[in-house]
């Protein structure tokens, strides 16, 4: 069965510092991969997605992620964090056939220090 | 705005009451998904429709839950005899049934059962 692991429940960084949020997935083939951000009480906003092709994916708000098949990882990065990036971040995986339902990780809550 | 819409955005009810939520997908999307997100967790798949046919239901969807999509357009999710454990954010998403089947999420309905 597919699964997604986000090992870090909470991460705190200083404004201007770099950020990396980890995501590991379990799936037999190359899945579709996504990162979403959710502010308190809000819905999900898609940051970026990977379906195939170039393994380094650029997203909105200056985020990028790299698909590493050998490590079953899809880590999210940002070179310089802004206070407005404080939110919860979810990694998701979907099988590229059948239901196409999304399996989400448990999320990483990001706190940004001024 | 032609995105996914959900109504109501918030619902407070007493234990034992029935509630119904509505989701209006993007108009040309024939796949529609329901997810549930409890506090501190990522969204979890509940069920999905291909046009008016409900093709998969999660084990999370107990017999108190029923979903419909009668004309293949909007969908409703009903919870009968609500319990406090039903308190969650209920998210709807829609997609085309071709290509990467990318899902677009609505803002969610937040249910609080007192």
Tens digit of pLDDT for each residue in A68-89? 999 999 999 999 999 999 999 9
As a whole number, mean pLDDT of residues B39-56 equals 93
Cβ–Cβ contact A103 with B under 8 A? yes
Tens digit of pLDDT for each residue in B72-85? 899 999 999 999 99
State the nearest Cα–Cα gap between B63 and chain A, in angstroms: 21
Which pairs count as long-range contacts for A58-66, CB under 8 Å and 24+ apart, including other chains? A59/A35, A61/A37, A61/A85, A63/A35, A65/A33, A65/A35
Burial letters B12-34, b for 16+ CB under 10 A, else e: ebeeeeebebebbbbeebbbbbb
| φ, ψ for residue A70, nearest 5 deg | -65, -25
Measured distance CA(A64)–CA(B104) in Å, rounded: 20
Chain mean pLDDT for chain B: 94
- Residue scoring higher pLDDT (A21 or B2): A21
Measured distance CA(A60)–CA(A111) in Å, rounded: 19
State the nearest Cα–Cα gap between A107 and chain B, in angstroms: 6
Q: Report pLDDT for A91.
A: 97
Per CB-CB distance under 8 Å, the chain A contacts of B56 are: 99, 101
A105 pLDDT band (50/70/90 cuts)? very high
B60 pLDDT band (50/70/90 cuts)? confident
C-alpha distances (whole Å) from B68 to each of B2, B5, B51, B62, B107 are: 22, 16, 10, 15, 19
As a whole number, mean pLDDT of residues A105-110 equals 97
State the nearest Cα–Cα gap between B54 and chain A, in angstroms: 11
Cβ–Cβ contact B70 with A under 8 A? no
As a whole number, mean pLDDT of residues B36-52 equals 94
Best mutation site among B3, B43, B108 for testing chain A: the one with the most A CBs within 10 Å?
B43
Tens digit of pLDDT for each residue in B3-14? 999 999 999 999
Cβ–Cβ contact A25 with B under 8 A? no
B1 pLDDT band (50/70/90 cuts)? low
Tens digit of pLDDT for each residue in A7-51? 999 999 999 999 999 999 998 777 899 999 999 878 899 999 999
B98 pLDDT band (50/70/90 cuts)? confident
């Amino acid at each position: 069965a597919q699964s997604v692991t986000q090992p870090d429940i909470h991460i705190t960084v200083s404004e201007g510092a770099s950020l990396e949020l980890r995501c590991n997935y379990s799936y037999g083939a190359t899945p579709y991969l996504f990162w979403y951000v959710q502010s308190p009480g809000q819905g999900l906003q898609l940051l970026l997605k990977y379906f195939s092709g170039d393994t380094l994916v650029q997203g909105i708000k200056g985020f990028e992620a790299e698909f590493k098949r050998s490590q079953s990882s899809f880590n999210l990065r940002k070179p310089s964090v802004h206070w407005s990036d404080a939110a919860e971040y979810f990694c998701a995986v979907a099988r590229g056939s059948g239901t196409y339902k999304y399996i989400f990780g448990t999320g990483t809550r990001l706190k940004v220090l001024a | 705005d032609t995105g996914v819409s959900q109504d109501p955005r918030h619902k407070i009810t007493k234990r034992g009451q029935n509630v119904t939520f509505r989701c209006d997908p993007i108009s040309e999307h024939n796949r529609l998904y329901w997810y549930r997100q409890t506090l501190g967790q990522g969204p979890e798949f509940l069920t999905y429709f291909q046009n008016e046919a409900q093709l998969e239901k999660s084990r999370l969807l107990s017999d108190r839950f029923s979903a419909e999509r009668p004309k293949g357009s909007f969908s409703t999710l009903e919870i009968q005899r609500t319990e406090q454990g039903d308190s969650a954010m209920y998210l709807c998403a829609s997609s085309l049934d071709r290509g990467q089947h990318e899902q677009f999420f609505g803002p969610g309905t937040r249910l609080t059962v007192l």
